[in-house]
């Protein structure tokens, strides 16, 4: 069995001139985006070798951090990645507008810049934003991703690659869809690793169709996250040695040489879960979905938890029971919820609890501007009024972007990512 860390042991000394960019390179950089570095927001940047040599990596304590740290160390020590320059890394959480967003840029030796978007962190704010995708045209992190890509593109004339795992994959595709056409033309490829698909409004737009052929989508055989909404087809099924939802962790994805080990299709568990979720999305209104999400997270907040790591197994079981019994949850929504919970048992409820509780997300500070004050005020007003004003619009001029006033640094905590 071998994963992306083994790939670095095998091929980390092969430069890009000898072996061009491949799918494992893309996953490594998507994984790198979950780490935080002192000085990562520096506009001039640091090479990965420099970051390792002077110990700029911010430490974490969980199993997921250990694997990611090994990947970083392998990248920093080998000829393939050690001279890559990381710059403009940011990690922002804005509770008022419900945004969790993080991204970084990495200049590669083949003359391209890779823009990497991080998945969901440990905060309930980040997870609430993911659920909001079920009924909102554009969530704040997607807005921030468009503006971040615009600013990253303005730094140079280099061709661009976009990567992301889980929610980060969705942000990569969304930013590519709604960025300026001139930026779209510079994008060589977009790599989504078990990332949620687009909502129906986005997947049918002219902007999305312009970049659709550039999307490279990879999912494990029991994919759940990557089958949400209008997922990206065709997709490649990667063999994972984990079980159930734990397959979402790309450290379990198997590698052979410069490629993934693949399977012909997703398994039956993933098919049932996908069909159940799609049935709910197709047969419920945005208002019903919003009501369900509001009920779910208001009850989560009633447990006094602000982070996923604070939802102990006992609290989580109580929360699931509350949703199933709550009278103000639409009966049809309750029925679908019950079906989903039954499927979660099939996947192994212990895996879900372990996944929620057994990881740690260490956050980093970043001050690079990602959202104009005007757009933030618009989203804040929408949040306060309970409206969905997030209609797609043209990306703003990067020079006009301003920082979110309440963006905060993420402190290291136990949690999980999506």
> Domains in the chain, please, with CATH?
4-267+360-414 (3.40.50), 273-356 (no CATH)
* Full pLDDT tens readout for the chain, 418 residues: 899 999 999 999 999 999 999 999 999 999 999 999 999 999 999 999 999 999 999 987 666 889 999 999 999 999 999 999 999 999 888 777 778 899 999 999 999 999 999 987 555 555 565 666 665 767 889 999 999 999 999 999 999 999 999 999 999 999 999 999 999 999 999 999 999 888 888 889 999 999 999 999 999 999 988 888 788 899 999 999 998 878 989 999 999 999 999 999 999 888 887 887 777 777 777 776 666 666 666 666 666 666 655 655 555 566 666 655 555 566 666 666 666 555 545 544 444 444 444 433 333 334 455 667 777 777 777 777 765 444 444 444 433 333 333 333 343 344 445 5
Tell whether the torsion through CA atoms of 191, 195, 197 and 202 is positive or negative.
negative
Rg of the chain (C-alpha set): 20
Nearest-angstrom CA–CA distance, 141 and 375:
12
DSSP state of 230: B
Maximum Cα interatomic distance, the chain, rounded to a whole number of Å = 63
Are 360 and 66 in contact by the 8 Å Cβ rule? The answer is no
Cis peptide before 234 (omega within 30 of 0): yes
CB contact set of 99 (below 8 Å; sequence gap of 6+): 92, 93, 125, 129, 139, 140, 141, 144, 379, 404
**Which 3 state secondary structure label does DSSP give 98?**
coil
The helix (H) or strand (E) run that includes residue 222 is none
Nearest-angstrom CA–CA distance, 188 and 176:
11
């Amino acid at each position: 069995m071998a994963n992306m860390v083994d790939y670095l042991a095998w091929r980390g000394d092969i430069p890009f001139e000898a072996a061009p960019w491949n799918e494992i390179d893309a996953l490594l950089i998507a994984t790198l985006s979950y780490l935080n570095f002192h000085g990562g927001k520096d506009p001039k940047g640091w090479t990965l070798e420099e970051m390792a040599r002077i110990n700029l990596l911010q430490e974490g304590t969980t199993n997921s951090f250990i694997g990611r740290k090994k990947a970083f160390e392998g990248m920093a020590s080998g000829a393939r990645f050690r001279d890559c320059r990381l710059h403009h890394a940011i990690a922002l959480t804005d509770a008022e507008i419900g945004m969790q967003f993080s991204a970084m840029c990495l200049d590669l030796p083949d003359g391209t810049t890779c823009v990497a978007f991080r998945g969901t962190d440990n905060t309930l704010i980040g997870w609430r934003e993911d659920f909001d995708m079920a009924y909102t045209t554009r969530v704040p992190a997607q807005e921030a991703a468009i503006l971040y890509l615009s600013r990253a593109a303005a730094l140079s004339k280099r061709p661009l690659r976009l990567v992301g795992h889980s929610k980060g994959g969705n942000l990569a595709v969304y930013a590519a869809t709604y960025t300026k056409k001139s930026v779209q033309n510079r994008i060589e490829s977009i790599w989504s690793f078990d990332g949620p698909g687009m909502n129906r409004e986005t997947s049918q737009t002219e902007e999305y169709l312009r970049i659709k052929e550039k999307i490279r989508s990879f999912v494990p055989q029991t994919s759940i996250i990557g089958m949400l909404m209008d997922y990206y087809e065709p997709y490649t099924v990667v063999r994972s040695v984990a079980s159930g939802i734990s397959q979402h962790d790309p450290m379990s994805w198997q590698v052979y040489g410069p490629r993934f080990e693949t399977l012909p299709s997703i398994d039956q568990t993933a098919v049932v879960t996908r069909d159940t979720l799609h049935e709910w999305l197709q047969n419920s209104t945005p208002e019903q979905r919003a009501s369900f999400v509001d009920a779910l997270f208001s009850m989560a907040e009633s447990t006094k938890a602000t982070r996923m790591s604070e939802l102990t197994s006992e609290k989580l079981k109580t929360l699931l029971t509350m949703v199933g019994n709550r009278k103000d949850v639409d009966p049809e929504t309750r029925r679908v919820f019950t079906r989903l919970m039954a499927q979660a048992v099939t996947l192994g409820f212990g895996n879900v609890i372990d996944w929620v509780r057994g990881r740690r997300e260490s956050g980093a500070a970043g001050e690079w501007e990602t959202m104009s004050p005007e757009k933030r005020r618009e989203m804040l007003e929408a949040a306060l009024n309970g409206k969905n004003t997030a209609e797609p619009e043209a990306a703003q001029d990067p020079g006009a972007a301003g920082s979110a006033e309440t963006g905060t640094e993420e402190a290291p905590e136990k949690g999980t990512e999506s």
